[in-house]
Amino acid sequence: MRFRSRRTAASRSLRSDETGNILITVVIVSMLIGALTSLAMTTGQHANTSSTRDRNSEQALNVSEAGVHQAISRIDAQSASNTFVDSFSFAGSTAEGDYSVDVTRMGNDGFIIDSTGSVGGSSLGRDRRINVTFAPPELFPGELLALFSSTSIELKNNDILAGDIWANDSVLIRQGVNHNGSVTAAQSWFQLEGNGRVGGNVWSGGYNADGTWAIDVGQNSIIGGWAKASVTAPADPETCDGETHENYDVVMSSGSSIGGDLTTLGERLGGGSVGGTIALHTCTAAPAPRPLPEFNPFVGTFDNPDDPDDYLEFASVDAFQTWLTGQSGNIEGVLVVTEPAPSQANRINLSGANLIGDTTIVTNAPVFTNGIGDDGVADSAKFVVVSHYQAPISTGCDVNHDSSECAIHAKNNFDPDCRVAVLLYADNGPVAVKNNNEMCGTVVSEGILIKNNQELNVDPRVQRTVGFGPTTWEIARWEEIPP
Amino acid sequence: MTSRLRREEGVTVIELMVATAIFMILLLPVLSLLDSGTRTERANQVRHDALVDLRGAMTRITKDVRQALSIDPASSKTKLDMTTIVGGVDRRVIYQLSGGTLTRSIDGGTPGPLAERVTSTEVFCYDPPDCTLTAPPADPSSVRVAIALEPVVFSGGPLTLATDVELRNI
């Protein structure tokens, strides 16, 4: 019993002596290990959180794009089945996250698709938002053209043009025309008569009927950029062997000038000046001719069933003219006129008509207008005239005679200001425009004649016009915006 | 009283030295580990910060490239000159790698640094995955952006981020 008592006392003493040291050691070591562990975990957690956010952000973009593609799929499917597509909204999900999409119709100019993708929960979740403009294809992909002709173009009498010109055949610019832009006569000659001006480049691909020149720059006329007389489809694109060099001479009358380089397979003739390098006897290939843009609209892309007036069909020109009179000349919407016997005596006459909004006229008859207004257009509008009129064989379009065989003949205040962008399209042409008009837009035709102080400025508003191009709609602009 | 004093007289110097020695032996590896951990954490932090900055730069570049409207044919593997959409407006944006610094300028403004200590000699590729072209083709469909940079505190080699960006507007 005593022994037990002593042992217990000694033991208590020993524990009393050692408990403090061990405890302190354990506490310190534990704190150090804890700090170390905490450090590692904090770093790991931080990196992990950051990585998760980045991953969610990347995935949110993919999810929002999935929403865009879903919207495009719906629009394309309905357009293909000739069904009008109005504004709509929907939501959906992928394996990665959710999307919500708002599609807003912009008249006949296309759609705005607004898609937001969301991935992750509230703390690490990320939203990305895409705004896509889904619009008709470009009339001329990658470029704006003021005039396009699948054959020739003639301008005369002090016209003022701004914008590039393309003709598969010849281009003739006469009598004081001032053109700010470039000219391509892809398979034929180019002639600039006295006191004319082309601010940009000139590129020809052929030569005149006499075989005496490819480019003719008249007295005191100016080409601001370079000039190039090329050869259409040369047998040998390196040497142009077999070609008659004299065909590709460039004639420069006194006082004329070319601001940039001159390149030709022929010679330079005359006393004009060249600002850049002169490369004679130089073989270059002409640009390939281009087809007219297609016009193949689906009725459903125009015809909103909730709007009885946005799309009207007429079985004859007479029916259309009667309707026009009843409208007091005010026109808007899409007007399709199918004439059983189209002719100049039986043509659409828009003289005195007044645009009150976006207007598209599609017809197989000729279209004539002697003065047309746009008083009813509130802000900006688009006026599209499509004539598939095929003139009788061996007839011609004379800009001086109102009843000559033009597919579209527009004169006298055709478009008095540029609130309206105009597209004149005649796949069987030609188109004639004249007399002191200001017009903003593009003329696309098989043959173009423009004269008498006509002012024409290329306008990007008609670059994308529904019905033109190989598809109805395409992505015109893709942009990420803040969610 | 004597017994009580004996219990409170503490430990001898030898005992203290032995205890301290044992304590130090236990503490040294822990301190060493802590020191190592601190250094690693600092390096990781610097590396992580650099990675965050690099990701930010990459996000900026990929966004500009993704919605580019056109790419200047004079662009190269160290310079990307394009028209793109910035804040809803069409702007000319130039990325240029020079002297290990990747800069971004808008509409001819003063270039601002986007990434520094860049070790890549080529940042932009216009024909992935081959990357043989030195300039963009007429109609590029995608651009590869690859950036490698050396963090201030070296640890584990240079950071490299690379991504192929599909051009949505071209």
Q: Work out the minimum CA distance from B107 to partner chain A, whole angstroms.
A: 19
Residue A454 near residue A437, CB atoms below 8 Å: yes
- B19 touching A (Cβ < 8 Å): yes
Q: Is A38 on the interface with B (CB under 8 A)?
A: no
Backbone angles phi, psi at A457, to 5 degrees: -120, 125
Q: What are φ and ψ of residue A465, in 5° steps?
A: -130, 125
Contact A36/B44, CB-based, under 8 Å? no
3-state secondary structure of A262: strand
Query: Contacts of residue A36 in chain B, CB cutoff 8 Å?
Result: 30, 33-34, 37
Q: In what order do the strands lie in the sheet with A98-105?
A: A88-93, A98-105, A111-119, A126-135, A474-481
Residue A333 pLDDT: 92
* A229-262 tens-digit pLDDT: 999 999 888 899 989 999 999 999 999 999 999 9
Pick from A36, A47, A475: CB nearest B37: A36
Q: Quick one: DSSP state of residue A470?
A: S
Our CA-based measurement puts residue A479 at a distance from the nearest CA of chain B, in whole angstroms, of: 6
Torsion, Cα B98 B102 B105 B111, to 10 degrees, reads -60
Report the DSSP beta bridge partners of residue A105: A111
- In the A/B pair of chains, how many CB contacts fall below 8 A? 54
DSSP structure class, residue A245: G
Q: What's residue A197's pLDDT?
A: 95
Q: Which of A169, A164, A153, A152 is nearest to A287 (CA)?
A: A169
Is the CB of A21 less than 8 angstroms away from the CB of B19? yes
Any A CB within 8 A of B63 CB = yes
A37 close contact with B: CB closer than 8 A = no
Q: What pLDDT score was predicted for residue A403?
A: 86
Residue A214's nearest CA partner among A205, A202, A223, A222 is: A205
Q: Hunting for tokens 């629009």 — which residue is that? A: A75
Across the interface, whether the CB atoms of A29 and B48 are under 8 A apart is answered no
Nearest partner of A368 among A400, A406, A397, judged by Cα: A406
CA-to-CA separations, A153 to A170, A183, A204, in angstroms, rounded: 6, 10, 13
Output the CA–CA distances (angstroms, integers) from residue A340 to A9, A11, A314, in the order listed. Answer: 128, 124, 11
Residue for token digits 């949505």?
B168
Residue of B nearest to A13 (CA): B7
CA–CA separation, A347 vs A369, rounded Å? 10
Per the CB < 8 A criterion, the answer to whether B95 and B103 are in contact is yes
Judging by beta carbons within 10 Å of its beta carbon (0-12, 13-18, 19+), is residue A273 exposed, middle or buried? exposed
Identify whether the C-beta of residue A316 lies closer than 8 Å to the C-beta of residue A341: no
Cα separation, A220 vs A166, in Å, equals 24
**Contact status of B30 with chain A (Cβ, < 8 Å):** yes
> What is the residue type of A359?
T
Q: B67–A480: do the CB atoms touch at under 8 Å?
A: yes
The long-range contacts involving A433-441, CB below 8 angstroms and separated by at least 24 positions, are A433/A399, A433/A409, A434/A399, A434/A410, A435/A411, A436/A412, A437/A410, A437/A411, A437/A412, A437/A413, A439/A414, A439/A415, A440/A415, A441/A383, A441/A415
Q: Token digits for A209?
A: 């009927």
Three-state DSSP class for residue A476: strand
Is the minimum CB–CB distance between B152 and chain A shorter than 8 Å? no
Gap between the Cα atoms of A109 and A215, Å rounded: 40
Count CB atoms within 10 A of the CB of residue A121: 9
Assess B23–A contact: CB distance below 8 Å, yes or no.
yes
| Residue A403 touches chain B, beta carbons under 8 Å | no
d(CA A427, CA A416): 25
pLDDT of residue A337: 97
State which residue of chain B sits closest to A24, comparing Cα positions: B23
Are the C-beta atoms of residues B81 and B72 closer than 8 Å to each other?
yes
**Ordered per-residue pLDDT tens for chain A, 483 residues:** 444 444 455 455 555 555 556 667 677 767 777 776 776 676 666 666 667 777 888 899 999 999 999 999 999 998 888 888 999 999 999 999 999 999 999 988 899 999 999 998 777 789 999 999 999 999 998 899 999 999 999 999 888 999 999 999 999 999 889 999 999 999 999 999 989 999 999 999 999 999 899 999 999 999 999 999 999 999 888 899 989 999 999 999 999 999 999 999 999 999 899 999 999 999 999 999 999 998 988 777 888 888 888 899 999 999 999 999 999 889 999 999 999 999 999 999 999 899 999 999 999 999 999 888 888 887 788 999 999 999 998 888 988 888 899 999 988 866 657 889 999 999 998 999 988 778 899 999 999 999 888 889 999 999 999 999 888 899 999 999 998
Q: Give the mutation candidate from B44, B53, B59, B84 for the A interface (greatest A CB count, under 10 A).
A: B44
Contact predicate A117/A64, CB 8 Å: yes
- Residue in B23, B31, B41 closest to A25 by CB: B23
* Contact between chains at B48 and A43 (C-beta distance less than 8 A): yes
Contacts of A475 in chain B (CB under 8 A): 168-169
List, for residues A112-171, the tens digit of each pLDDT value.
999 999 998 777 789 999 999 999 999 998 899 999 999 999 999 888 999 999 999 999
* 291-330 in chain A: CB under 8 A from chain B: none
Interface membership of A29 toward B (CB under 8 Å): yes
Integer CA distances (angstroms), A234 to A171, A202, A206, A213, B50, in order: 21, 19, 11, 17, 59
What φ, ψ does residue A200 adopt, rounded to 5°?
-100, -145
Taking alpha carbons only, the member of B143, B148, B98 closest to residue B120 is B148
Query: Which residues fall within 8 angstroms of residue A334, CB to CB, at 6 or more apart?
Result: A108, A302, A303, A310, A311, A312, A359, A360, A362
Is the Cα dihedral A440, A334, A142, B84 positive or negative? positive
**C-beta separation of A325 from A351 below 8 A:** no
ipTM score of the complex? Answer: 0.77
Judging contacts by C-beta atoms under 8 Å, the chain B residues touching residue A39 are 37-38, 41
Supply the pLDDT for residue A255.
Answer: 95
CA distances from B32 to A23, B18, B21, B29, B168 (A): 21, 21, 16, 5, 54
- CB-based contact, B44 to chain A, within 8 Å: yes
Phi and psi at A308, nearest 5°, equal -70, -15
What residues of chain A lie within 8 A of the CB of B26, using their CB? 25, 29
Residues making up chain A, counted from first to last: 483
Residues 170-189, chain A, touching B (beta carbon < 8 A)? none
Q: What is the pLDDT of residue A20?
A: 59
Contact list in B for residue A480 (CB cut-off 8 A) is 63, 66-67
SS (H, E, C) chain B: CHHHHHHHCCCCHHHHHHHHHHHHHHHHHHHHHHHHHHHHHHHHHHHHHHHHHHHHHHHHHHHHHHCEEEECCCCCCCEEEEEEEECCEEEEEEEEEECCEEEEEECCCCCEEEECCECCCCCEECCCCCCCCCCCCCCCCEEEEEEEECCCCCCCCCEEEEEEEECCCC
Residue A163 Cα distances to A138, A185, A440, B104, angstroms: 16, 15, 10, 33
* A32 contact residues in B (CB cutoff 8 A): 27, 30-31, 33-34
The answer to whether A185 touches A147, Cβ cutoff 8 Å, is: no
Is B39 touching A (CB cutoff 8 A)? no
Which residue among B30, B44, B48 sits closest to A33, beta carbon to beta carbon?
Answer: B30
Query: How far, in Å, CA of B26 to CA of A58, rounded?
Result: 48
Task: Give 3-state DSSP helix, strand, coil % of chain A, rounded to 5.
Answer: 20, 35, 45
Question: Which of the 8 DSSP states describes residue A303?
Answer: -
Q: What is the pLDDT of residue B156?
A: 67
Q: Which residues of A touch B41 (CB under 8 A)?
A: 39-40, 43
